[in-house]
Amino acid sequence: MTTEEISPVNLSDSFKAYDVRGLVGDTITAASVQAVAAAFVDVLALAGETVLIGGDMRPSSPEFAQAFAAGASSRGANVKLLGLISTDELYFASGILNAAGVVFTASHNPAEYNGMKMTKAGAVPLSSETGLTEIRDLAQSYLDNGLPAAVDNPGMIGEADVLKDYAEFLRKLVNLSSSRPIKIVVDAGNGMAGMTTPAVLGDALLEGLPFEIVPLYFELDGTFPNHPANPLEPANLLDLQAAVVKHGADIGLAFDGDADRCFVIDELGAPVSPSAVTALVARREIARAKAAGEERPTVIHNLITSRAVPELITHDGARAVRTRVGHSFIKATMAAEGAVFGGEHSAHYYFRDFFNADTGMLAAMHVLAALGEQEGPLSELGREYEPYVSSGEINSQLEDVPAAVARVRDAYTRDDVTIDELDGLTFTATNGDWWFNLRASNTEPFLRLNAEALDTPIMTTLRDTVLNLIRK
């Protein structure tokens, strides 16, 4: 597909709150990518600077990477093509090299999608509030009126491979060499974890660790022939759960397509909630920060995580900061607060030592380290961090989202409920028995419900009552 064959694109259809996602050949094309690249360099004043470009295993990623390189170099940026990378590899390279960059990925979306996650130098996030809107508007002008002429000194285009450096960097952050032997089933979902897992946890590039890795769907294939690379959906965990039990493994790990999120399965085949993983990793990072002399470290959690998370953070002598959902918002808060760690209900985990960026692999390494330091099974370790009962995230596709939200608000505007509007609406029972949050998705046409309660009967009643109001 050439740029001449492509019809005009409205970039508002693909630019979201903190990334770009669209249908290949429709809302995202080689021509639109080239225009975005030129605008990226111009808005961020990157002429003469290095721009990093990589992509996941989707069929369109190589073409889009070349289009971005052409657009960026035409405006004077020096391009380094990183080839196949996970999203957190881009963050690593951006942090280590102090360079802006882009990775082509649509994360967990189906094969017909692709997109861009862009970052400023030092892995500083780009969002609609920090430059993404300006890039979109300038790129739209370039699409509508033609790209500006190349600068007098176009940038150079070269290549770099960061996988080994990335693996070495992560291993220095979590020492796994002294772990007891652990059998791990890893479901890469035909995504980038099929490349990063052997590099970080295996012996593909570095000395082997005391792990036996059972691979599931490690072949890089952006058509996702086995199941969608979205571990947030329970159906996509079934193969991993069965394999963990079949192989008598100690743990299962499932990554999404671009491998920046990691979901954990215990030895019984049961999911360990991202909130429990957040609490477990928070405890380890708090202890490490305190050992280094930090009196009261800060840990970030979004408002959807279990209330067990801030309770544990406070119990361990740290400061819990609650924030809205979304990686660019979390990263900005991480930087502003000097936080050591941050976690989200969606299995995004952020580390100060990883440039305040999210990395599923580093979170997985912490879980493996915690498991490897003791003899008990993961199911026992996980229960310690899951004292409450959660509904999980439930999506409702509605014709009139505001009307549904209004129905719920009317029903729960009463003396025994508090309501806050940090991100959507959060309703909390004043007696502490339950809370729930309603939030419209930034990237999909859904109203999302997350609920939590003291026990299963309370949670079930709450969930069903709210869903009946939403879907009335």
Catalytic entry in 61, 107, 127, 273:
107
Non-local (6+) Cβ contacts of 106 within 8 A are: 21, 58, 113, 114, 115, 257
Cα 253 from chain centroid (whole Å)? 15
Q: Is 60 a catalytic residue?
A: no
CA trace torsion 299, 85, 368, 267 (10° rounding): 110
Kindly state the tokens that stand for 193.
């974890």
- Give how far Cα 332 sits from Cα of 139, 338, 381, Å: 25, 10, 31
CB count within 10 Å of CB 174 equals: 22
Which of these, 343, 339, 341, lies nearest to 327 by C-alpha position?
343
- Give how far Cα 170 sits from Cα of 30, 95, 177, 259, Å: 34, 13, 13, 14
Please state, in angstroms and rounded to a whole number, the distance separating the CA atoms of residues 460 and 392. Answer: 11
Which of these, 179, 128, 162, 151, lies nearest to 72 by C-alpha position?
151
Q: Which residue has the tokens 């998705």?
A: 441
Please state, in angstroms and rounded to a whole number, the distance separating the CA atoms of residues 71 and 38. Answer: 5
Phi and psi at 18, nearest 5°, equal: -140, 15
Cα 79 from chain centroid (whole Å)? 25
- Give how far Cα 69 sits from Cα of 192, 341, 367, Å: 21, 33, 38
Please state, in angstroms and rounded to a whole number, the distance separating the CA atoms of residues 101 and 50. Answer: 8
Active site residues: 107
